Amino acid sequence: MLQPASSTVLMAVARVVAEAPTLSEAVSRLAEALRDTIPFEELHLLRLDRADSVVLYTVRASGELEITTHRIARAGSAAPPINPQTRSRLMCPIRHGARVLGALWFTSTRPDVFSGEHQELMDAAADLVALAVHHDMIRSTEALRRDQIDSLDRLLHAMAEALDVRQVFGDVSEVVRGSLPHDILALTSWGEDGRSFRMYALAGAEVSDPTFWAPTILTDDDRAQLHRNSYIVHDATTELHPASVRARLFERFGIKSALRVAMPLGNDVFGSLFFLARESDRFSDEDIDFARHVADHLALALSHHRLAEAARRGAEARETAARLEAQVATLTRELEAHAGHRRVIGNSRRWQDVLAQAARVAQTETTVLLTGESGTGKEVIARFIHHGSRRRQGPFIAINCAALPDQLLESELFGHERGAFTGAVNAKPGRIEQANGGVLFLDEVGEMAPAVQAKLLRVLEEREFLRLGATRLQKADIRVVAATNRDLHAAMRRGEFREDLYYRLGVFEISLPPLRDRLDDINELANAFLDEIGETVGRPAAGISRDAREQLLAYSWPGNVRELRNAIERAVILADGGQIRSEHLPVTTPRAPVVAADAGTLPLPAGGVNLEAIERSFVMKALTQARHNKTRAAKLLGLTRAQLYSRIEKYGLADTPS
């Protein structure tokens, strides 16, 4: 039982706890209140600060107060330094309920100075001191929370002026360092393949090597960490595999400990946010929540940046598309005015894609290779490119490589001197010379003989050539546009076409679609040909009947646009001034019976069946009959709405009214 004097001391301790505004003042006054009753020389109060540190308050014999912070090693608590001259120590824990808040002890350099009564008094005093420690911890926690909120508020202000996080990443590090101390702040982003990463932003370290920012392949050990939400590395030298990317990165900057949280971005994960320190055990689990808040704020800025980038790219794409569309329209009008019947006709998506590519490459000096079936309009596109280029004032010289024997082709292409071969009575410039300052169009280049291919390759590589029988080199100031309906890859495998020449010609390849893939353009082409041909015959046709147009759409057109023009010309002659009907067309198309009890017994037409054309015509007819009501049209065709929409997209009918 406590003595009356002890009760007086405890009342004094209670007043200290109640009146002292801070724990440090309470400790100083506690030493004064207990010094006359307990014969100590130094008073020590240990308060658990965080999971990884403690704060030690020491009142010396002189009355001086010393406050120090000590980190706790993971293997166990690292005890604060003890005076080697200490001979006596009186100690008790400080608890608040079941929770241990720290410890209180007295020391003396004299042996055996403390008694059981002293211990009893100290235990009673410790219960009162626990209230002061608990209140101080509440104040510290609240202060830390306010500091973190202030940090996050300043973080928002730091990022508000810049869309790109990288521009303010150093400021971000400085703002949050007060609430979460670190030496380096790093933001990484993951590759789409999930097997690589790159450093996105870095603060607290200088890097001069540009390869540092390049994507890096992750090891299995690194990939295993990608989907962890957060983790702490207490000692990188013992916890990380030496071959891992993280271990090499940490070693580069002398990093011993790290706190990592995932960087969210919508429903995905952008990468990782690392708080790095050059000493071990810098971070604890209590830091994770604040680190996640920082990551969330950065993710918001990243989202804004991505939206801004997407909007910018979208605006640029729309601007480019509008510019190309206007250029295509201008070039088309100009080409019609200059080239007469060689008009660029068609509004289907695939044909407009071809024109957009041609308009884009026209402004360069790049060699162009046009591929596609015979009759798809390769020369029309070649002239379109020439007219849109800086060489538009120069000549457009075309040569069909398949129409001439090898020796004659070589002479036509390169020219010859007098006496170069039998019959060469005069010198003659070749097509390359004639195309000087303009465009040389090599049609059916796949039919060129190997010897001529080798000479053409030199022209493309060196921009010089020799006439046949000449010794003086001439410069070739030309742009080459080549065309072929052959599979040049197969020809290269057979050794019929030089691979090096192919790669010189095919710097920019444009594939022209066959007419069967441009069904939307057939009526427009037919009308244009009807107008052109009407000017050359005595009695132009009055128009094209509905059944004839349906037949034009149902035919597969193996000869493409050239075959269509020939068919219209023949029909105009047969119509003799009247309307073109289906019997005037030299094409055979299958007709599907309205009712067929046994369709398998019906004969197929000799010209073959174009099933896609038949299906497309039925889809169009059903949409028309249903007045473009998709549900009714699907019912007429015996399809589901999903199946109908699939066919509408397949045949480019998506622009029809809903």
CATH code: domain of residue 482: 3.40.50.300
- Both 261 and 353 in one domain: the answer is no
DSSP string, 237-272: HHHS-TTSHHHHHHHHHT--EEEEEEEEETTEEEEE
Quick one: 618 and 547 in the same domain?
A: no
CATH of the domain at 573: 1.10.8.60
List residues bridging with 352 in a β-sheet: none
Q: What CATH number should be reported for the domain holding residue 44?
A: 3.30.450.40
pLDDT, position 596: 41
In this structure, the answer to whether residues 28 and 103 fall within a common structural domain is yes
Task: Determine, yes or no, domain membership for 292.
Answer: yes
Count of structural domains, the chain: 5
Which of 484, 513, 542 marks a domain boundary?
Answer: 513
Residue 264 shares a structural domain with residue 369: no
| Listed residue (367, 442, 455) closest to 414, CA to CA | 455
Non-local CB neighbours of 499 within 8 Å, separated by 6+ positions: 492
Are residues 117 and 206 both part of a single domain?
no
Vertex 344 angle, CA 613 and 484, to 5°: 75
Does residue 625 fall inside a structural domain?
A: yes
Domain stop point among 480, 513, 546: 513
- Does residue 605 lie in a domain region? no
The pLDDT value recorded for residue 271 is: 79
pLDDT value of position 592? 42
Tokens of 296: 């969330």
Same domain membership, residue 296 and residue 242? yes
- Give the sheet arrangement for strand 257-265, strand by strand: 216-217, 196-203, 184-190, 268-277, 257-265, 230-233
Q: What's the confidence (pLDDT) of residue 152?
A: 55
Q: Which residues contact 371 (CB under 8 A, 6 or more apart)?
A: 483, 484, 485, 488, 509, 510, 511, 512
Is there a single domain that holds both residue 188 and residue 71? Answer: no
Residues 115 and 213 in one domain: no
List, in order, residues 6 or more apart from 411 with CB less than 8 Å away: 420, 421, 424, 428, 430, 468
198 and 105 in one domain?
Answer: no
Q: What is residue 613's predicted lDDT score, i.e. its pLDDT? A: 78
Ranges of residues in the chain whose predicted pLDDT is under 70? 1-6, 50-52, 72-82, 138-165, 192-194, 225-228, 265-269, 300-343, 420, 422-425, 535, 537-539, 588-609, 642, 654-658
Show the domain range for 585.
Answer: 515-592
Residue with structure tokens 């120090």?
A: 68
Residues 305 and 346 in one domain: no
Q: Is residue 498 part of a domain?
A: yes
Give CA–CA dist 34/621, Å, rounded.
104
N- to C-terminal Cα distance for the chain? 96
Residue 372 and residue 469 share a domain: yes
Query: 329 lies in a domain?
Result: no
Cβ pair 485, 433 in contact under 8 A: no
Residue 631 belongs to domain with CATH number: 1.10.10.60
| Full-model pTM | 0.44
| Domain end among 469, 489, 513 | 513
Assess whether 295 and 379 both reside in one domain: no
